[in-house]
Amino acid sequence: MPVTSPEPTDAEPTAHGAAGAGVDKRLDARDWLAAALVAVVGTLIRVGVLGLFARANDEGTGGLLASWDTRYYLAIAEHGYFDADLDTDGPVHEYTLAFFPGFPALVRLVHELTRLDYAAAAVLLNILLTIVMTAGGMALAARMGAGRAGRTGAAVLVSSAPMAVTFTMPYTEALFGALAFWALVALIDRRWWPAAGLILLAGLTRLTAVDLVLVFAVVVLLRARGDRRAWAALAVSPLSFLGYLAFANFHTRDAGGYFGIQEAGWGSRFDFGAATVRWMVEVLLTGRDPGYFLTVGVMVAAVIALVPGWRRVPWEIWLFCAALTANVLLADGIMHSRPRLLLPAVIILLPWVLRGARKLSRGWQAAVAAGWVIFGAWFSGYMLTVFEWAI
């Protein structure tokens, strides 16, 4: 049995965001219970609010939760990349191969184990992954000195951000968030092989795993330059997404490879932010749809938050948030998907959660948390139901 650890307190973080002396950074059973409770209650609230939106707009809640790109993930899970039952203009694999295999493979596994239909299996899987992701956010807060209140606040922050409804839908958001947060925990703790394994799995989930590889490389260069194990783990970490890109490029070579089908199907290409700036200026000068302004608001907030976040979070967290934000905003593509793609970067707000846990009364903490959950649920419901474009 381990010795009893000191009760964590919401001490003032150091200049680099590191946990203070004497603060236990490990999550215990109560932390995991809190993660599960926050994640499940937040999910129920979001689905309930979505139900209100659906009823007011003559939509079905189940249909909304299975809308947009969910059809690709579910079709891949059921039929694979080359036999997916989808109505496409060209060969189906020139669309399906734009989606990484990790999430569809897990959905198929849950389906085989539970015999639930694929949509229900995906929802069940994502509820469990949301709990793991929420605990990962709590673990990051613990490394910044958070006690019970701060950790619970971190759980609310990461699980109920705007567009958190996608944590319930058959999307990769919950899976990628869980892998990214725990990979950052491993990197902060300098546990090289767990970090490599988590990043390897993230590389089967989304291309933005490259941002985690970047953080890993910088950590090794700055903190473990002479450690052969660290270099070996770093070398392994990108193999999954590099391997998948090679596979996808081979099968879509006639359509320009992986990045060719991304551009053809979703208009996605790296342009150093030119399209993003043009779109934001156009919205601010001529836009009339509130959904456009909500999207611009999230994009601007993500950039602004990086400035005061510098040196207030562990630099590994800051670098990941900066890289992810750059990855999302410096490319062309479907602008309205940006709030969803930026969800992991919400951890840049952890210092203010910890400050609230220290400075605010319990009543004010509960009020702020409730406001965040309700706003996130409203934002999710509006963008999925009233806003007419893809999320």
pLDDT value of residue 89: 87
Select from 296, 368, 366 the least CA-distant residue to 336. 296
List the structure tokens of 106: 């897990």
For the residues of 237-258, what is the DSSP string, one character each? TTHHHHHHHHHHHHHTGGGTHH
With a cut of 70, say whether residue 266 has pLDDT above it. Answer: yes
pLDDT value of residue 138: 98
**Tens-digit pLDDT profile for residues 212-249:** 999 999 999 999 999 999 999 999 999 999 999 999 99
**Tens-digit pLDDT profile for residues 274-331:** 999 999 999 999 999 999 999 999 999 999 999 999 989 999 999 999 999 999 999 9
Q: 3-class DSSP state for residue 287?
A: coil
Residues 6+ apart with CB under 8 A from 87: none
**Region of poorest pLDDT, from 36-45, 245-254, 264-273:** 264-273
pLDDT value of residue 5: 36
**What is the pLDDT confidence band of residue 15, given thresholds at 50, 70 and 90?**
very low
Domain parsing of the chain, residue ranges: 29-189+264-386
Expressed in angstroms, the distance from the first to the final Cα of the chain is 48
Q: 3-class DSSP state for residue 54?
A: helix
Mean model confidence pLDDT for the chain: 94
The region, left, alpha or beta by phi > 0 then psi within -120 to 50, assigned to residue 387 is beta
Torsion sign (Cα): 203, 295, 382, 68? negative
